[in-house]
Amino acid sequence: MKLESYWTSSAPAFVPRGAELPSQCDVAIVGGGFTGLSAALALARKGAKVVVLEAGERVAAEASGRNGGHVNNGLAVDYADVAAKVGTERARAWYHAYDEAVDTVARIVRDEAIDCDFVRRGKLKLATKPAQLEVLSRSAERLVRDGVDTDVEILDAARVRAEVESDRFAGGLLYKRSGQMHMGRFAGGLAQAAERHGALISTGTCVQRLERLGGGQAHRVHTSRGSLQAQQVLLANGAARHGSYASFGWLRRRIVPIGSFIVVTEPLGAERARALLREGRTYVTVANIHHYFRLTPDHRLVLGGRARFGVSNPASDAKSGEILRAGMVEIFPSLAGVGIDYCWGGLVDMTQDRLPHAGERDGLFYSTGYSGHGTQMSVLMGERMAAVMAGDASANPWRGREWRAIPGHLGPPWFLPAVGLYFRMKDRLA
């Protein structure tokens, strides 16, 4: 069992052109994940001089390359709950932003000819209890009634059993616009596209400190490879812990980095894989401690979840792999004895409301807090923040939202074990 991401391990590594850092640029982007690379592509297309500064040795090696491979539409939280808090109009706009995010991924894949196995087969949200199915049914009714999504459909237990080789599910809610792709190959293709259009991508370049010049948007960016002056800076570094607390503490107090862990089986063979998940969709279970899974083109099962409420490291990943193996066999008894080839963990940049936050503060632009639904939203927000930085504030669907610090949270998530216990008790009592 390799303790590394299947997506990065099975994709060619993107190798930047290796130019020296310039003394100045129009836009410096902190972070070489999907947000940063998408923004770099959009800005470079407009003729801006863009530099992407990635602390790691490989682009998209953190959350963008350490996820379950889903490209899903639909909010991370129930639409009806969001509508009750912010109103139908705003909730509808946010829901449609996720539709557009999936469309944006599809467009970039097509326009830049990125070979990443992108397909749209839908997402099935699975209920393990009748009460959960009732909640999903009410959610579907509200989506249709408000004209938000008329493509959703409730599947009963028999229809779910016809496509998922498991007796655990009482039914599910089908979102038909969702997709999936190979994250490592998409990342490489996105980085190549940004470079083709003129962006400079500098890996192994940790941003250590940001120094504001005057009262505007210009900053001197101090990195492990020297400094440069940027007219604008976009923070696209998610839950990363690099750099000084003085420069990045405002974001860290508002984001909880929660570990999410994933295993990938040995190849199952085409026939066995088809019998397991006949429609080849993305799947997610309804629970606070949930599972999500899908197949790969080489007939493996990718299954992830909140196996442990902790951060990712080799020991934690290995323990999580055994927990996920047990969960996999509980869902799919036919996979008992199947080998696990890959196991890894990553950090989800979770916010209190489980919705993204993006905007400008003290002359710095930021987009983050995707809360486990970032593979598509990060790509959209890279484009949208490029438009915002060019002067179109209305391009940001998350504009104007208050974002308070999490009480008692100063960076390291010391409270995660208690959070995990709370959610496990909620699931047991549900």
pLDDT at residue number 310: 64
- 290: nearest Cα among 305, 272, 271, 303: 305
pLDDT at residue number 309: 57
pLDDT at residue number 214: 92
Sign of CA dihedral 265, 267, 271, 273: positive
- Residue 168 burial by Cβ neighbours in a 10 Å radius (0-12, 13-18, 19+): middle
Contact indicator for 180, 67 with CB cutoff of 8 Å: no
Contact indicator for 323, 329 with CB cutoff of 8 Å: no
Q: What angle do CA 108, 110, 112 make, to 5 degrees?
A: 60
Contact indicator for 232, 26 with CB cutoff of 8 Å: yes
Q: What CA–CA distance (Å, rounded) separates 129 from 267?
A: 31
Q: What end-to-end distance do the CA atoms of the chain give, in Å?
A: 34
Half-sphere exposure of 128 (CA within 13 A, CB side): 16
Q: Which residues of the chain have pLDDT under 70?
A: 244-246, 288-289, 307-311, 410-430
Q: What CA–CA distance (Å, rounded) separates 18 from 147?
A: 49
Q: Which residue has the tokens 């026939």?
A: 271
Q: Which tokens sit at 166?
A: 């498991």
Sequence ranges of the domains in the chain: 6-419
Q: What angle do CA 308, 376, 306 make, to 5 degrees?
A: 10
Helix, strand or coil, per DSSP, at residue 154? strand
Contact indicator for 136, 33 with CB cutoff of 8 Å: no
Strand order in the sheet with 340-350: 153-156, 171-175, 123-127, 282-285, 291-295, 301-305, 256-265, 340-350
Q: What CA–CA distance (Å, rounded) separates 187 from 7?
A: 10
Q: Which residue has the tokens 């309804």?
A: 286
What does pTM read for this prediction? 0.94
- 34: nearest Cα among 349, 377, 351: 377
Residue 427: phi and psi, rounded to 5, are -65, -40
DSSP 8-state symbol, 5: -
Amino acid identity, position 101: A
The residues, ordered by sequence, that sit 6+ positions from 315 with a Cβ below 8 Å of its Cβ are none
pLDDT at residue number 422: 43
Contact indicator for 117, 153 with CB cutoff of 8 Å: no
Contact indicator for 286, 136 with CB cutoff of 8 Å: yes
Query: What CATH number was assigned to the domain covering residues 6-419?
Result: 3.50.50.60
